[in-house]
Amino acid sequence: MRAAVLVEPGKIEMEDRPIPGAANGEVLVQVSSVGVCGSDAHYYRHGRLGSFVVEGPLILGHEAAGTIVAVGDGVPYSRIGQRVSIEPQHPDPDSAETRSGRYNLCPHMRFFATPPVDGALCDYVTIGAAFAHPVPDTISDDAAALCEPLSVGIAAVRKAGLTGGSSVLIAGAGPIGIVAAQVARAYGATNIIVTDLDESRRQRAREFGATTAIDPATDDVSEFRVDAFIDASGAPAAVMGGIQAVRPAGLVVLVGSGAETMQLPTQLIQNRELVLTGVFRYANTYPSAIALVERGLVDLDAMVTGRFPLEKTADALDSDRIPGSVKAVVQVS
């Protein structure tokens, strides 16, 4: 099969790789679409992301969809031919975290495109049958792939406790901020404030559900009083301002990957009894993601601003530098 392989920072080469076989409990998926994530671009340019370091050739891509073409032992043959959204996680079924339902926190996780585990920018991948989620024909291949970042947004909104009539401040109008705004609206939030330094991104946030979009460089976000704050920027200044905007007993959810350490207003957190937590990937979100897209409550197709063939993977990885870019998709088949 074809595979777009990161051989060194800034260099993608096309290689012929053997088609993997589906092990017991797994399915073999012919990949159709793969979304490009910021983490993919970071590995491509820098060879690392935080403590995760690329030490050998690596296939990137973890936002993927395709069609099941073969099954391993224990998986019904009736699954062959199903279009699926791939949840790119291989947790250890025996870990305490997996058994408790928080399999995203499994210390033995093998996650697509997280070194040294290969990802989905290739013709075929294998995944546990339970992590290949069937999608209806009303959902496009691209949208099926983007159920992965949508799952991050769902995890963030769940952690933020949003419900009908809630108010939320979201820092960052990149892909995760955009899906978080859409999910917040779908969950019934009526006051959705999105901040971003870039005017085009603020306009995009308005198009995808933000009731207010502001420039944090000119507007003081600490003057707001919201039920929850979701940081999708990773910027220390955004985190500090967002925490100050949360009313007593509110929730703060850190999603953006930024500085490894930062200063926090601990006295304010104590005095307002704020709950501060993080989001690391997601668990048990894909059925909700697919339902939200199927019912038209979240629009993932409209987020796609660039489509590339597998052979142009390097261009796809660099497309986030194009003004107005939101989400690039590599269309494999």
Q: Tens digits of per-residue pLDDT, 167-181?
A: 999 999 999 999 999
Distance CA 289, CA 146 (A): 9
User: What mean pLDDT is predicted for residues 95-99?
Assistant: 97
Query: Can you list the domains of the chain with their CATH numbers?
Result: 2-146+300-331 (3.90.180.10), 150-278 (3.40.50.720)
Q: How far is CA 282 from CA 104, 174, 204, 249, 288, in A?
A: 6, 18, 25, 24, 12
Predicted confidence at residue 260, as pLDDT, reads 80
Please report which confidence band the pLDDT of residue 50 belongs to, taking 50, 70 and 90 as the band edges.
confident
Residue that wins the pLDDT comparison between 321 and 61: 61
Calculate the average pLDDT of the chain: 96
User: What mean pLDDT is predicted for residues 150-154?
Assistant: 98
E strand spans, the chain? 2-8, 11-16, 26-35, 48-49, 52-53, 58-59, 63-71, 83-86, 89-90, 110-111, 124-128, 132-134, 167-171, 191-195, 212-214, 226-231, 246-254, 275-278, 304-309, 327-331
Predicted confidence at residue 116, as pLDDT, reads 95
- Checking if the pLDDT of 261 tops 90, the result is no
Predicted confidence at residue 279, as pLDDT, reads 97
- Checking if the pLDDT of 322 tops 90, the result is no
Residue 277, number of CB atoms within 10 A of its CB: 11
Please report which confidence band the pLDDT of residue 258 belongs to, taking 50, 70 and 90 as the band edges.
confident
Predicted confidence at residue 49, as pLDDT, reads 85
User: What mean pLDDT is predicted for residues 252-262?
Assistant: 88
Please report which confidence band the pLDDT of residue 324 belongs to, taking 50, 70 and 90 as the band edges.
confident
